[in-house]
Amino acid sequence: MSSSMKWKGLAALSALAISTSLSPAALADGKFDGVTLRIATWGGSNKAAIEESIVPRFEALGGKIEFVTGSPQANFAKLIAARGRAPFDVMEILDAQLPDFAQTDYLAKIDLSKVPNTKYLEPWSYNEMGMASWLTQETICYNTEKFAELGIPAPKTYRDLAIPELKGRLSIPDITSGGGLANFAAISIAAGGDLQNVKPGIDLIRDMNVLKFWSRGGETVTQFQTGDIYAAVVHAGWCVRAKNAGNPVQTVHPVIKDGIVGVQKYGRLGIMKSSSNYEAALWYVNEFVGVENQFTLSTQTGVFPTNREVVARLGADPVLKQMLELDPEMLGKQLRIDYSEVNISDWVDQWTRAIVTN
């Protein structure tokens, strides 16, 4: 081969290499080169599910995801302390925090045209300020064997927990925990109160003789394991995890009042106004509500998906089918709290003074 032919061949190969590297697929590969996206969310199995379903795909695009783990309340406190200049780009927000966020100017508007997975979501669950990322079904999780030993029937509502046999054997969420407000509201309504009058709920909780007011749902899994509790007010996901840990537990969706059975709370993803990675944050939000992540998240943590496609697939999982309410008609009967009607500070104050045994 002559020298000129060699050079021509090399030039052709180089051209091919360059054209390949500039193809749309390859361009997409480097879409987030050098971007570090910081996500404020829970640790544990929630983080593990995201690491499995989203992180590898973001890394394939050249970026890196870091987690700022903590409860939404703790992350909100960080946000306030930093006066909105958050040390994260995307944050998991609880429905109960929405009124607080409404008083601040910390969230960026989400460009919904860049979140095509909204086609799988219910209209109520998203807008420019946030995207519902999961739902929890707040339940009574009880140890079926212990209840049988004690000769007491499965509970139907919270009042059934205020019996002598369960004295010191119950764990319910502290009002400042993730599920605290939703369950407190549900207990109050079930006891005959409403969002403006929670005293019946406080009286019922005092009648329950609770062992511990949990601040992290994982505590109840340990307490079922150690035999300290026979029942807990907790979201179905923790009951799933308790069952997976070998405990003979089952969920009950409590009767709240006529026509309302079960309680929901939901989380939303918000993009911080201070984020310098807006495009990457949009990508993350879209992936989060996508089929793959929603399925992974639901099957691994027991939360309920916001993605319609995934709801239909959950019936194939025997544990989730047993623990979660999947019937669309019954889902429509579950209580969801409108926190714009709630004076949260007053609730916390009433709770602290009445429940604390100091």
Partner 1 sequence: MTVRWDLLLIPSFLFTFILLAVSQFMFLEGSFYKDLGLGRTGDSLDLVNYIRVFTDGFYLTTLWITIKVSALATICTLLFSFPVAYVIARIRSSWGMILLSGIVVSTFITIVIKVFGIIIIFSADGWLNRFLMSTGITTEPYSIIGTQEGVVIGLMYFTLGFGVLTLYSVVQTIPTSLEEAAEIHGASRPRMFMRVILPLAMPGLVAGGLMVFNMCMGAFTSAALLGGGKVFTLPVLIQRTIMMEVKYSMAGTLAAVLLVAVILINVLSILLIRRMRTARGVLA
User: What does the binding site for partner 1 look like in residue numbers (CB under 8 A)?
Assistant: 73-74, 76-77, 80-81, 83, 100, 103-104, 168, 174, 176, 210-215, 222, 226-228, 345, 348, 352-353, 355-358
Taking the complex as a whole, the smallest distance from the CB of residue 146 to partner 1 amounts, in Å, to: 10
Per the CB < 8 A criterion, the answer to whether 246 and 208 are in contact is no
From its phi and psi, is residue 59 left (phi > 0), alpha (psi between -120 and 50) or beta? Answer: alpha
- Taking the C-alpha atoms of residue 5 and residue 8, their distance in angstroms, rounded to an integer, is 5
Per the CB < 8 A criterion, the answer to whether 260 and 190 are in contact is: no
Closer CB to partner 1, 228 or 292, in the complex? 228
Nearer to partner 1, 226 or 276 (CB): 226
Write down the least CB distance from residue 43 to partner 1, Å. 14
Task: Tell me which DSSP letter residue 275 carries.
Answer: -
Shortest Å, Cβ 262 to partner 1? 24
Distance, C-alpha 348 to centroid of its chain: 22
Q: How far is the CB of 91 from partner 1 (least distance, A)?
A: 14
Q: Which is nearer to partner 1, 128 or 349 (CB)?
A: 349
Q: Pairing between strand 170-173 and 212-214?
A: parallel
- Give the nearest distance from C-beta 89 to partner 1 in angstroms: 21
Query: Least separation, in Å, of the C-beta of 198 and partner 1?
Result: 17
Strand partners, 142: 231, 250
Q: What's the chain's Rg over C-alpha atoms?
A: 24
Nearer to partner 1, 71 or 251 (CB): 71
Of 73 and 127, nearer to partner 1 (C-beta) is 73
Q: List Cα–Cα distances, 230 to 148, 149, 269, 341, in angstroms.
A: 11, 11, 34, 34
Nearest to 215, CA basis, from 172, 185, 170, 184: 172
Q: Which is nearer to partner 1, 209 or 309 (CB)?
A: 209
